[in-house]
């Protein structure tokens, strides 16, 4: 966890004007004195320290780690095929099937373990897509302004006014309910907040003195975007990425609930979607995956809040 944060948060220092970049690593505090380059890594350490000081963030991180561990190791420890019919339908939880069976007689525990892998992968990959699209659009639009900005803003407004769940449903309906389509659909409909956030950060940063200095030193646009502005805009983007994972998991659940899940891959959403008609006969087949989604989204949100507190310079100064 910590290494991830460090690599992400540490601003890749600008060799030509290191002192200025280090200063900019604490944006929003323009009056802060320039710091020597040797301490360039300290904001990340400070952020980590700050993060560890927030009990809810740590609790979220532990929960998330546990869920990831179960997703990775679970299928080895509990090899039952989640799609295999192992007993009678609607068998309540008992020693044979610890969490009961669903409407076909499939093991709910196996579904929970194997499904977690699919659900969390969808969440992570979809969030990744969200961030890639969102940051690219937002960065270009915020950095260049002018007609590029108005064009990209128009495009993202077009996506913004479409109700995301309905739009995702249409995409999945068109291209078929496969896990990859679902993931891409989620990514494609939920990138606008990230784009707006990135654009605002870029617009704020692009006119600051150290950027002007870099430009004066001969840095090209590409260099400025990737190496100077983006690293300084990263902290809020990381927070938004973390929260995007939670949103994507909920999306997957929502799509499956509406019958648009991939029937060949067990996921938490699919379990709820397929079993919801039988909730009166088998509460366990819906309740456990529901609780799993709840925990995963809660964990991701807590971690996101923790990171937010940690990287927010105003809070850090306290």
Partner 1 sequence: MMLSKRSFLTGALGGMAMIGMPFETRAQSAGGRGGTLVVGSSQVPRHFNGAVQSGIATAMPSTQIFASPLRFDENWKPQPYLAKSWEVAPDGLSVTLKLVDDAVFHDGKPVTSDDVAFSVMIIKENHPFKTMLAAVDKVETPDPKTAVIKLAHPHPALLLAMSPALMPILPRHVYGDGQDIKTHPANLKPIGSGPYKFVEYKQGDYYTLEKFEKFFIPGRPKLDKIVVRLIADPNALLVSTERGEIHAAPFITGVRDIERLEKVQDLVVTEKGFAGIGALNWLAFNTKKKPLDDVRVRQAIAYAANRDFIVKKLMGGKAPPSTGPIAPGSPLYEARVEQYKFDIEKSKKLLDEAGLKPNADGVRATMTIDYIPGGDEQQRNVAEYMRSALKRVGLNLEVRAAPDFPTWAQRVSNYDFDMTMDTVYNWGDPVIGVDRTYLSSNIRKGIIWSNTQQYSNPKVDDILAKAAVETAPEKRKALYSEFQKIVVEDVPIFFINATPYYNAFAKGLSGLPTTIWGVASPLDELYWATAPKT
Query: Shortest approach of partner 1 to residue 45 CB, angstroms?
Result: 49
Query: Shortest approach of partner 1 to residue 34 CB, angstroms?
Result: 58
The Cα 281–Cα 198 span in angstroms is: 48
Q: Quick check: helix, strand or coil at residue 83?
A: coil
Binding status of residue 166 toward partner 1 by CB under 8 A: yes
126 or 255: CB nearest partner 1: 255
17 or 107: CB nearest partner 1: 107
Binding status of residue 92 toward partner 1 by CB under 8 A: no
Buried b (16+ CB within 10 A) or exposed e, 56-83: ebeebbebbeebbebbeebbeebebebe
110 or 234: CB nearest partner 1: 110
Phi, psi at residue 107, to the nearest 5°?
-70, 120
The Cα 60–Cα 299 span in angstroms is: 4
The Cα 73–Cα 317 span in angstroms is: 40
Q: Could you give the C-alpha distances from 158 to 133, 139, 152, 155, 248, in angstroms and in order?
A: 15, 18, 10, 5, 20
Q: Which stretch binds partner 1 (CB under 8 A): 44-52, 143-151, 163-171, 234-242?
A: 163-171
Burial (CB count within 10 angstroms: exposed 0-12, middle 13-18, buried 19+), residue 312: middle
Binding status of residue 278 toward partner 1 by CB under 8 A: yes
Query: Shortest approach of partner 1 to residue 25 CB, angstroms?
Result: 48
Binding status of residue 103 toward partner 1 by CB under 8 A: yes
Distance of alpha carbon 287 from its chain centroid, rounded? 24
Query: Shortest approach of partner 1 to residue 104 CB, angstroms?
Result: 6
281, 291, 315, 317: residue in contact with partner 1 (rule CB under 8 A): 281
Q: Which stretch binds partner 1 (CB under 8 A): 32-40, 193-201, 278-286, 287-295?
A: 278-286
Tell me, residue by residue from 205 to 224, as one string, x for binding to partner 1 by CB under 8 A and - for no binding: --------------------
Q: What sign has the CA pseudo-torsion 143, 148, 151, 155?
A: negative
Looking at the chain, the number of H-run helices and the number of E-run strands are 15, 0
Instruction: Answer yes or no: are the C-beta atoms of 102 and 132 closer than 8 Å.
Output: no
10, 112, 118, 172: residue in contact with partner 1 (rule CB under 8 A): 172
Q: Which stretch binds partner 1 (CB under 8 A): 22-30, 183-191, 258-266, 292-300?
A: 258-266
Tokens of 71: 């997703």
Binding status of residue 106 toward partner 1 by CB under 8 A: yes
Query: Shortest approach of partner 1 to residue 37 CB, angstroms?
Result: 56
Query: Shortest approach of partner 1 to residue 127 CB, angstroms?
Result: 25
Binding status of residue 75 toward partner 1 by CB under 8 A: no
CA angle 75, 262, 60 (to 5 degrees): 55
The Cα 302–Cα 304 span in angstroms is: 5
Query: Shortest approach of partner 1 to residue 291 CB, angstroms?
Result: 23
Alpha-carbon torsion, ordered 289, 86, 77, 60, to 10 deg: 0
Query: Shortest approach of partner 1 to residue 80 CB, angstroms?
Result: 12
177, 231, 304, 306: residue in contact with partner 1 (rule CB under 8 A): 177
**Residue keyed to tokens 């019919």:** 85
Tell me, residue by residue from 17 to 36, as one string, x for binding to partner 1 by CB under 8 A and - for no binding: --------------------
**Interface residues with partner 1 (CB under 8 A)?**
81, 83-85, 88-89, 103-106, 166, 169-170, 172-174, 176-177, 258-260, 262-264, 274, 277-278, 280-281
């Amino acid at each position: 966890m910590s290494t991830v944060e460090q690599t992400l948060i540490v601003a890749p220092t600008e060799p030509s004007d290191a002192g200025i970049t280090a200063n900019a690593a604490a944006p929003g505090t323009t009056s802060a004195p320039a710091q020597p380059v040797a301490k360039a890594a300290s904001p990340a350490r400070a952020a980590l320290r700050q993060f560890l000081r927030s009990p809810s963030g740590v609790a979220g991180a532990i929960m998330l780690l546990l869920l990831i561990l179960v997703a990775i190791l679970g299928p080895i420890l509990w090899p039952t095929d989640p799609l295999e019919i192992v007993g009678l339908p609607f068998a309540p939880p008992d020693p044979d099937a610890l969490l009961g069976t669903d409407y076909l007689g499939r093991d709910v525990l196996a579904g929970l373990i194997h499904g977690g892998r699919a659900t969390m992968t969808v969440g992570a990959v979809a969030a990744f897509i969200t961030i890639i699209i969102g940051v690219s659009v937002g960065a270009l639009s915020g950095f260049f302004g002018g007609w590029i900005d108005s064009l990209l803003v128009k495009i993202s407004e077009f996506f913004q006014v479409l109700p995301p769940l309905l739009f995702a449903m249409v995409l999945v309906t068109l291209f078929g309910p496969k896990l990859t389509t679902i993931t891409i659909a989620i990514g494609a409909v939920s990138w606008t907040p990230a784009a707006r956030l990135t654009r605002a950060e870029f617009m704020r940063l692009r006119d600051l003195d150290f950027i002007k200095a870099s430009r004066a030193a001969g840095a090209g646009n590409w260099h400025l975007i990737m190496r100077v502005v983006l690293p300084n805009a990263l902290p809020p983007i990381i927070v938004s990425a973390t929260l995007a994972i939670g949103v994507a998991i909920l999306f997957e659940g929502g799509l499956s609930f509406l019958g648009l899940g991939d029937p060949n891959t067990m996921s938490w959403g699919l379990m709820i979607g397929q079993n919801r008609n039988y909730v009166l006969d088998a509460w366990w087949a819906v309740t456990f995956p529901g609780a799993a989604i709840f925990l995963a989204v809660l964990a991701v949100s807590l971690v996101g809040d923790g990171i937010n507190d940690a990287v927010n310079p105003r809070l850090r100064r306290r």
